[in-house]
Amino acid sequence: MTTFSIQTKSSLVNWTGKKILGLHTGTINIKNGFLSFENEELIAGEIIIDMTSIVITDIADRSIYKEFFDHLNHEDFFAVDIFKTAIFKLNKAIKENNHYQIFGDLTIKDITHPISFPATIEIFTDFLHALGEIKVDRTLYNIKYGSGKFIPNLGNKLIYDEFVLQFKLVGQK
């Protein structure tokens, strides 16, 4: 078995959350993680996200930034004071060339749900490079603020239930 440790300084996770009148973007750091292969097949993996590292990249005004940042960290969203990490654990990967369909469990706010997404993984001797995009239904993780599923007549204050995580992972043997 070959295991690649995720290089947190070289890896990147971007997030996008959409609402009726626009969207917000940002980044979040990987705390640690690994991907393991046997006979060039992905067989295990775990990625731990540092929820305390969330950054908003599309708001320049400091007071608006702080208000939104505090709201994301509040229990309405991620309750970061209580839930400092989110975790993805790989259950299965189906490979076709360098493309994978990844299946696993995503835990946010101590709530776990199965999730699947496509990813591209390339191995270069001692290094691994992975790219992918995950669509997450936040309401499954008790993040209901601004959701039309739970709050009627939101009009232009509606926040879409799905947010997107785009990732680039760099791993080293």
- Sketch out the chain's domains with CATH numbers: 2-172 (2.40.128.110)
The answer on pLDDT for 146 being more than 60 is: no
Read off the pLDDT band of 148 (50, 70, 90): low
Tell me the H-state helices in 33-164. 62-73
Reported as a pLDDT band with limits 50, 70 and 90, residue 71 is confident
CA distance 49 to 152: 32
Q: What is the pLDDT of residue 51?
A: 96
pTM of the predicted model as reported, rounded to 2 decimal places: 0.90
Write down the pLDDT at residue 39.
87
